[in-house]
Amino acid sequence: MRPRWPERPAAYPSRVTNSGEGTVLAGRYRLQREIGSGAMGTVWQAVDERLGRQVAVKELLLQPGLDATAAAQARERAQREGRIAARLHHPNAVTVHDVVEHDGLPVLVMEYFPARSLADVLATDGPLSPRAAAAIGAQVAAALAAAHDAGIVHRDVKPANVLLGGDGTAKLVDFGIAHAGGDVTVTQTGVVAGTPAYLAPEVARGRPSSPASDVFSLGSLLFAAVEGIPPFGESEENTLGVLYQVAAGEVAPARRAGPLTPVLEGVLVPDPAARPSAAVVRDQLKAVAEGRTPVLAPAPEELTQPLRAVAVNTPRGGTRLDLHPFDTPSSPNPAGAPAPPPPPPPRRSRRTGLFAVGGGLAVVAAGITIAIASGGGETTTAEPTPGPSTTASSLRPLSAAELLDVVGDYYGHLPGDPQAAYALHGPTLRAQGESEFAGKWAEVRSVTVVSPPRVNGTDTVHVGIRLVLRSGATVTEYHQHGIGRHDGAVVITSDTVLHSETAAPPPQDDRRGEDDRKEEKKEREKEREEEKKQREKEREEEKKRREKDDD
């Protein structure tokens, strides 16, 4: 069975596919049959006529819309990174033999390895046992360790890029290639192509990929192998929702991992510096696969740079994740030079437009800038409001239970009791007026929590809700609530809509449509009955005329 490759967007022109079977590339690689296609290109089985061996040929498609200069740079980068990947020789990595060019596009010539992808195995056979997953993961980690030692970062570790041979051998494919053609996960224009479910949190926030991010992606792969779903979920329809979950870095606990659990807990941590190296993970997974207890070594120490978020422009028609939203100084401050002042604290913005579907949206949280292409919308700024007095109680940080309780109570009152919900607002949110607040919620028929409230930081709660409007439309929203104290009470100080999706109501209610059909049926039956009576009347009149003529 051939590996499963994701569908290639129609915008990418395939030159190798157009050439067809029998075409000879670079004077030596004769195409035999197409064995797969994906977002990065088409894969062919071919024969190297010079060496008489089977190879796999993969073109690297460039992003659509690149100008001549950018396209030339992408081709040069593809050639360079393909040659770098060719330096890696490891039994658990698909070897890159050569990099050639065909009709202006770079083409990789790789080891031919007939196998199924791990993605195909999981989709067909279901989740793996912890030891089986560890056996595969140990081989992938071994390939990553060798790559990292050679200065190569994979950037796209996921089940679709792990090939499984019939003898149990696992091989990781596409080393470094994700970046070569313009980065398959996050493109140069910032549009996410495909699901970001296996990204590391720092990559989802826009930082460059690193060996530590490869390790996190391996952890996500192992999590999916035993649990049946990646740690942050997976949805082609809601890429932004998945991206947001990844950037937040809060992993759901594994339930089926068994002896694999401590390894997963060690690699699926938000801080890259706290993750073990691929070599350490390799040894841990090998121990789990052999039924031994893994040795949980301390994480390597790595230097980290302070991060500063910057705004980005948003392309239409896609979810934007800025590739370089952080300023990284080329050298530290000179000795004796004063450190730059810290940036001012971010100002929280509040969108009260629960139903403002077409409004623009920009979220800056934990160093990530995400935007949805659409029109502009108004926002009001919620400034922190000091309490009337400073007491030991008011200085005590809010507990997680207090944060979750106020949000739970808030949505528990809605939509039936907007007055009680409004009472849980802080002064800034109350400024909109109770009547306006109640008027908005009067348009809502029901509220369902689709993503339970979860604490993010010391004073923030994230929650996902689904609103059914009286018009029949359905609105799914993800909110970030700021929580604080006012007059001794725990209140909601800000409300930011992070993401909103609307499903229009059906053309008509099913029951109403059924009633209409019944009514139409009655009308047709009535018309047929009247026509029948009319025909009988005409026949009777015709009969009488004939009888009169006979007389």
Q: Which residues are annotated as a binding site for ATP?
A: 58
Query: How far separated are the first and last CA of the chain, in Å rounded?
Result: 90
What is the residue type of 114?
P
Tokens coding 50: 């010079």
Contact 107, 25 (CB under 8 A): yes
DSSP character string of 502-526: EEPPPSS-HHHHHHHHHHHHHHHHH
**CA angle, 161 as apex, 157 and 162 as ends, to 5°?**
100
For 313-357, the three-class secondary structure string (H helix, E strand, C coil) is CCCCCCEEECCCCCCCCCCCCCCCCCCCCCCCCCCEEECCCCCCC
For residue 492, give Cα distances in angstroms to 168, 239, 486: 54, 28, 9
Q: Which H or E element spans position 105?
A: strand 105-111
Q: Tell me whether residue 67 is one of the annotated catalytic residues.
A: no
Outline where 64-210 has alpha helix (H).
68-86, 118-125, 130-149, 177-180, 201-204
The catalytically annotated residue of 48, 98, 120, 156 is 156
User: How many other C-beta atoms are found inside a 10 Å radius of the C-beta of residue 353?
Assistant: 15
Binding residues: 58
**Structure token pair of residue 352:** 């009260």
Give dist(CA 499, CA 372) in Å, integer: 8
Please list, in sequence order, all residues whose beta carbon lies within 8 angstroms of the beta carbon of residue 465, skipping any fewer than 6 positions away: 411, 447, 448, 449, 450, 451, 476, 477, 479
Positions marked active-site: 156
